[in-house]
Amino acid sequence: MEIYQVKVFLEVARCLSFTEAANTLSLTQPAVSAKIKSLESALGTSLFHRLGRRIELTEVGKYLLEEGAYLVDLEAQLLAEIEEIKQGKFSKISIGCMTDTLEHWLPTVLFEYRRKYPQVQTQCCNFQSIEQLYRGLKNGEIDLGISDLSFAKFEEIAEIPIDTIRYSLMMSSSHALAQHQWLSLEQLQNQPWVLLPEGTPSRTILNCRLQELGLSLANFPNIEIVDTLSLVRTYLLKGHYLTFLSNFEFPVERQTDWIQSIPLQEFALDIPLYLLMSKRLRRALENLGKTSFRGQRALEPIQHFITMLEAGVQPLFDLEVATTRSPKIPTPASQQKVPHFQSPNFCLRVSSSQASNTITLTIGTQNRTIQTVTAGLIIQRLGLLEHFLPRNGRYSNTHYQIQWWDYTSGAPIVAGLESKHIDIGILGDYPLLLSANLQNQSSLDTNQTRLISFIASNLDGKGNDVIVPNRSALNSLEDLQGRAIAVPFGSAAHGMMIRALHHKNLLQNVNLTSIENLDPRSLANPNNLVDGYAYFAPFHEILKHRGGFRRLLQESLNELPTFHGVVIQGTLADEYPEIAIAYLQALIAAQYWYLQTPIAPTLVSRWVNLDQGIITKTLRAFESSNLEGSFFSDTKIRTDWLNEHIKQLAAISGHEYLSQINLDRWIQTEFLHQAIATL
């Protein structure tokens, strides 16, 4: 048995095709067939079952596929060690990557590595395509590879996230768009573009993202394709073209302000940079130090390199369900692991299958309820749900239709959940409980909603207020006796008023009437026949900001925390759990983006047409905001808060049914755990 015969066998076994293996190995099909026959003759047994045009592995073939790669790796290791001995060296590490990584990321890393391990010889291999990098890893030409495309589809390759890359729009600093702080691909379709060829990482990442969003390069009629970054630079500086590249490219030109980099709305998150190696090498490294084996010394430089890269990895979000109330604000996002876009998978061949199944998702949001924008508006604007939705396995032929229905309060969302017209609902505390009660109207699990996450919280309950005109003589809850207060029925503010008035024994003495139009501009009409308004944030802030209204009380009307959450249809949770997980991944990513992007409040204010001061006063923004904001983003499901709300409401006439809510059945935390585990 010869090693080369094993190499040929491994490729045929991987492809289950003599033709594909021949193409990969640059051999003729008869030559591949001859090698396999020779190997079978040497072993005295068949390695494949021939089933017409198809082939399958025999039991011996399956064993050789599992163990034969070890022989190939061992041969490469022996040859490398012999070469090192010939050169008088025994410590070496070889790393392969694409040009941008080699020129702009790897040098600093290698400099630090050599400072720590000066005795180790480092060799860098520059590959012109991702496929060449894959071949280099597979054939043992390099020990490690670095890529911003994922190799998860290849069983023989292991990958470790080691850094992130930001992809963005680039242009000449003299370009008419260069003064913008934020742009969207939709705004740029008619601009002239210059891109690198098919197969380059930047092109692959752009193509995959466009496909997620239902677009393609065909939507951009003015595109030039060039072969080198030097030509891209010329097009940018001489022709005022746009391009799409990573932050590794043109560092000098950007530092000297020749080229401007502008964030793209569709690429709001970074993409991982992976360290690649064969899985056999990974297993050998995991056993390093546990047992003594030949070649252990040769692995130590690789282990040191990986250890240096892995240093500084931050812990994941703490998304456990809280069982006790805690006044502590969540850990700042800068101390948590950063959500990122999933890297496109590198594939040797692109599937041509067309989507044959359509799943429609209808999401009920409250975009002008600023504390919930991370669960609706931001996900929608940044296209985050389209990115995280599953597209592999049973979803490989699935097309998604996402419908965003925006409402001014929670009551119509509860009604939509009950009628099955809404699949995912964004609700405040009181309407959340009303949606939970749907589960008690039927014994069938399919008729239930499921609470899968919180969105934002206010610990002292100041998210709801009673607003009265400045000229009003009302100053306390007691003053409301015999008065009329308008409130959006079924909202968090409605629940707050019911609890507060019940506590003061005033519920039967105050007329709560419905607000049919939540437009604050219409409420300043002096002909309104009410004495004040009960609102949830930010509507009371809008009224105060525009003048003419003041808060009835300076303190909170009750001590209960205010919160918002996400509920989904039980059928969606049961039939498509991966979609629920994808939505939560998008939520976590949106919250991180809002907290860490200084321009985020400005963009949200444009999207909802509200003053930026209202935005930051309602939802805590990036860290430099000095803890301003009534609400903070928080996905923890607080069971104690839910229980306390139920306890107080169920004591009020007409709300006794809320005590029947089964929180253990309603709350479904596994989606949140899975979301963070796979983010």
Cα–Cα distances in angstroms (integers) from residue 477 to residues 419, 466, 473, 537, 552, in the given order: 37, 9, 12, 19, 8
Q: How far is Cα 135 from Cα 104, in angstroms, rounded to an integer?
A: 23
Cβ neighbours of residue 527 closer than 8 Å, sequence gap 6 or more: none
Higher pLDDT, 186 or 623: 186
Of 198-202, 280-284, 320-324, 411-415, the one with minimum mean pLDDT is 320-324
C-alpha gyration radius of the chain: 30
Of 33-42, 78-87, 308-317, 336-345, the one with minimum mean pLDDT is 308-317
Type of residue numbered 500: A
Q: Is 89 left (phi over 0), alpha (psi -120 to 50) or beta?
A: beta
194, 235 Cβ separation under 8 angstroms: yes
Q: What pLDDT band is residue 227 in, cutting at 50, 70 and 90?
A: very high
Lookup result for tokens 């979000």: 317
pLDDT for residue 3? 83
**Other CB atoms within 10 Å distance of the CB of residue 321:** 13
Q: At what angle do helices 59-86 and 296-310 cross, to 10 degrees?
A: 90
Cβ neighbours of residue 132 closer than 8 Å, sequence gap 6 or more: none
- Report which of 433, 401, 426, 395 is spatially closest to residue 412, judged by C-alpha positions: 426
Q: What pLDDT band is residue 597 in, cutting at 50, 70 and 90?
A: very high
Q: How far is Cα 57 from Cα 226, in angstroms, rounded to an integer?
A: 44
Of 69-83, 234-248, 285-299, 421-435, the one with minimum mean pLDDT is 285-299
Angle at 245 between CA 214 and CA 582, to 5 degrees: 40
Copy the structure tokens of residue 449: 């909603």
Copy the structure tokens of residue 19: 């033709």
pTM here is 0.80
pLDDT, one tens digit per residue, over 135-184 is 898 888 899 999 999 998 888 899 999 888 999 999 999 999 999 999 99
- Report which of 579, 537, 330 is spatially closest to residue 450, judged by C-alpha positions: 579
Q: What pLDDT band is residue 523 in, cutting at 50, 70 and 90?
A: low
- Report which of 157, 161, 162 is spatially closest to residue 133, judged by C-alpha positions: 157
Q: How far is Cα 485 from Cα 551, in angstroms, rounded to an integer?
A: 13
Type of residue numbered 615: I
Mean pLDDT of 229-234: 95
Q: At what angle do helices 411-418 and 429-436 cross, to 10 degrees?
A: 20
DSSP annotation of 476 reads S
- Report which of 649, 679, 671 is spatially closest to residue 568, judged by C-alpha positions: 671
194 backbone dihedrals φ, ψ, rounded to 5° = -130, 130
Cα–Cα distances in angstroms (integers) from residue 559 to residues 503, 564, 643, 651, in the given order: 12, 16, 14, 16
**Other CB atoms within 10 Å distance of the CB of residue 459:** 20
DSSP annotation of 434 reads H
Cα–Cα distances in angstroms (integers) from residue 515 to residues 408, 486, 498, 532, 663, in the given order: 11, 6, 15, 11, 31
Copy the structure tokens of residue 304: 């040191």
669 pLDDT above the threshold of 80:
yes
- Report which of 92, 94, 97 is spatially closest to residue 126, judged by C-alpha positions: 97
Of 15-19, 207-211, 311-315, 346-350, the one with minimum mean pLDDT is 311-315
DSSP annotation of 227 reads S
485, 540 Cβ separation under 8 angstroms: no
Helix (H) / strand (E) element for 73: namely helix 59-86
293 pLDDT above the threshold of 50:
no
Q: Which one of 262-266, 346-350, 616-620 scores highest in mean pLDDT?
A: 262-266
